[in-house]
Amino acid sequence: MIKIKILLLITLLSSIVYANDDRPPIAYDFLAKKEVRQFVNMMVKKHNFKRSYITSVLKQAKLDRDTLARYTGKYKVGSTNGSWERYKAHVLDPISLAKAKKFKKAYYKTLKRAEKTYKVDMDYIVGFMGVESKFGEYTGDYSVLDALATLAFHPNRMKKFFKNEFKHLFLLSREKGYKVTKLQGSFAGAMGCVQQVPSVARKHRSDFNGDGVTNPWDLVDCIGSIAKFMHKKGWQKGLPVASATNFKGKRFKAAKTSRKKLKTLKSIKRLGIYPTQTFYGKKAYLLKTRNTTHDDVWVGSKNFRVLVRYNNATTYAMAIHLVAEHVKDR
């Protein structure tokens, strides 16, 4: 990753609509490509893999046309309109919210331990788990090998990122004893109940259940992993994450919104935008989510920035926030 500060840059529902291709993966000679052979040489020389092992795995990799189509499609004008409604329909529906409350109740002691150990807020751990995999129910059925090999060695807008992840796939598999050809995950190669790409799985893994194994498919380990991530990225326990505002117009164009650059709260208020919920601090992120006919405008704290460090999308982070709000004090 260019040193992309990754942490899942991929959304369950992209706020921008791109093409997809439902045709199944097909046989493909990856080793016929010069850059693949160069990759093999690098893994042998720099990371001490056996050439026969890497080439054997690559001979089993298939071209995943569906995965590739998701990262080569062109932006469609107006495609973000309604993206917030589409996202909410998948992760903030009544069934999902009921599961969130049930999960919090079932894992309360573990969540409380994570909260105390890492000085984070348990409700946001619940939010992460719900948005990422519906509490471990949906962890992906794509071949991680096929997805990452395809994206690492075919032109697409995130090729450099995925080439780095392909390297980490081999490193992770060696460390954990995984059989690369058997791993399943998302179309972007993310695995487990908090959907981590290989580099993130290596960096933020946690043995929170104390069984001597870090398992990205184990719910307790995932609770520890997310809490660890939040702590490392600067989570401030008890700090309000976001607030809706009084904006009632159609499209918000009065100022540029950003999930990366803070504005003074005074400058936001000068636009006529005021938080309608508990929110404090001198600075905030000015945010918006796009419905079909109008925008919702929000303000976010530094904790909101932590959420988008895991997945760089406002809709994603806002969904986590709303799940957390729903289960708070329940």
Cβ neighbours of residue 247 closer than 8 Å, sequence gap 6 or more: 273, 295, 296, 297
Q: Which letter does DSSP use for residue 80 in this model? A: T
Per DSSP, the three-state class of 93 is: coil
CA atoms within 13 A on the CB side of 287: 28
Active site residue 132: yes
Residue environment code for 199-225, b if the CB has 16+ CB neighbours within 10 A, otherwise e: bbbbebbbebbeeeebbbebbbbbbbb
CB contact at 8 A, 145 and 60: yes
Residue with tokens 């000015």: 286
Residue environment code for 125-157, b if the CB has 16+ CB neighbours within 10 A, otherwise e: bbbbbbbbbbbbeebbebbbbbbbbbbbbbebe
In the chain, count of helices (H) and strands (E)? 14, 8
- Catalytic residue, from 85, 115, 132, 137: name it: 132
Nearest to 187 by CA among 4, 7, 1, 10: 10
Question: Which residues have a catalytic role annotated?
Answer: 132
